[in-house]
Structure 1
Amino acid sequence: MRMRPTAPESEQHAHELRAELDELLRASRYAGQRERRLAEAIRASPDRQRPEGDLLRQLAQARTLREGLGARCRQLSDQLQALELDLRQRAQEAPQFATPEPPPLRPDIGALAQRVTALHHSGAHPETAELLTQAAARLTPTDTAHLAGILARGGPSGVSLRLARSAAQTTPELAVAVLVELREAGLAEEAAELFHAFWSYPAHTLPALLAALEHAGQLADGATLLWEWGSAPTPELTALAAGLQHAGRHCDVRTLLRQAAGRPTADLAALAIELPAPLPAALLHELAALRPPAELVRLAAALDGSQELYDHLLAALRADEARHRTTLAALRSAGLPTEPAAASRPRRGRR
């Protein structure tokens, strides 16, 4: 019966596996470079229809070597992963004494970076993506940023950016924490990649994301997201505004509606109709403050069929008649009411 290796033996074995994996990765990179050089030499050959047999033979050998090294890298990577898992389990199963507990065994970020690199160089791109997704979900924000830094400096091109995008698939709180760590580590490209991934968040997750950004002190990021969402299609913008209102983020609602104020008049009329109460009144008050008289007249004409919305717009204008004197005069010239329906009915009755 084979005895289970002791913890020191397992640690030594893990160290040996890491060293061997590092050597194989270098050899795999060299084989890949040689394969590319030979392929370029064949393409540059004057007689491309019949390249030299020696070049073809060398290319086949280089390809075989690269594939063999890639397979061995994957094998070592799997062994190392299983061994590290066993070491973590040993640490958890160790008997507890009165002495202070040792700190939890942190994942070997360097070894993880090597596994990612090995999988990528072997052409196992789906497995690479899955490993990055798992890393983003399971590592602490600090370790995720550390892994991104290693991959950015010495890993395959673009892999650190994929890791950053994978962090966006976790919870908003974790994703924002990773964003902060990436910026503190000076990984500007990775931080930008993660932040851009926030733009694709569905509307119902935005309140939690904005709250996480606010809690982390990233207020400018929240304002930028609201600015981007101000140009979203009307159904999505309506859903986001309603979600923010429901979450009690009234300042964000006002910022969002103010950003939406630059939309075409027809879009604004449709948005006012779609928004749940009391948001239409808030939108129309923002429009009254931001849009010029000619555009407000066009908006009033578009809302003339909805008495409640039209009255909200009039209320916003009449709240500061001195400021909106020109707009009210333009409404009269266009034959549109300048008083709410409730106030105008008695006047018609007295006539």
Structure 2
Amino acid sequence: MGKPAAYYTELFARLGGLLEGFGTVPETRAVAEAAVAANPWFTLSDVVFSVDAVRRNMLDAAVSARWLSYYGANERTVRSRVAVIMAGNIPLVGLSDLLCVVASDCIPYIKMSSKDSVLMEYVVGLLCGLAPGIRVERYVPEKRYDAAIATGSDNTGRYFHALFDGIPSIIRGSRSSVALLTGEETDGELHALGRDIFRYSGLGCRNVSLVFIPLDYDLARFVRAVAPPEEAVNPKYRNNYRSLRARLRAAGEDFYDGGTFVVTVGDRFSVSLSNIVAFRYDRAEEVYGWLEANDGAVQCVVGRDVVHPRAVGFGAAQMPWPWDYPDGTDVMAFLRALPEPGSR
């Protein structure tokens, strides 16, 4: 029999307690600074925000108790070995998968991204220090696994499908997020949307990069309202913006200049990081038709009263709950349904 849900609820809450105030004392400030030094796309504010969001939205005792209550008792008698290949585009992006594997009483074999190894090493070290009986192993390609969870780009996704062929797996590729505006949004809601767009320099799958707007929507107001403070913009993102702006000008293409980003009008995600695409629509049916046709490319949909299984409110895209599974695939249900090792 696996450990009861209450065990993991308490464990995660204790981990969250250790992460409280992360970045405000010399020890954790040094960890945050080391994470930024290892990956220049990370900023200190993003690293601190990420840790706090995890602490509040995933490790809180009431939250994890609610989350784990959805799955009932764990009847597993033999622990499955689960390979977990983590992305590193934003801080602690792989932690939710690790928590799922641990809470399912399986053994995670993790491969951290070099882009996010400093922060992940620190948090994994805290977790294992709290519960020495929790096994968190390192991924070894030659080892046989019972299941796999792998996150990467569309190209690496094809590699992972071949690598883990023959065992149950969750393979994730590239996705982006969208927002649906009606023209009735307050300035406060648009400011919050700006955080959904620019947090983590737009690198996360939950970052909004395409915005649906009515035909007569004032894009100049949108640009003013969502623009981040210039001092908060990562220099690498600003350089990306300057390069894109120069290319658009040279090509004679129309765009709105936000000072650190550009907005162009179109009907598909941009391949350029600092480019927000505005999709003008006449009827809501157009939007929902697009969302259905492009479901495999969309992570979440930001807006007010949006009808969508992965809808979130303004400003909440970068603060997922444990049950906000990437791509809408229930990781806990996947792990609980694994056949016990030796039974296949």
Alignment TM-score, normalising by the size of structure 1: 0.22
Structure whose residues are more often strand by fraction: 2
Relative contact order higher in (CA < 8 Å, ≥ 6 apart)? 2
Alignment TM-score, normalising by the size of structure 2: 0.23
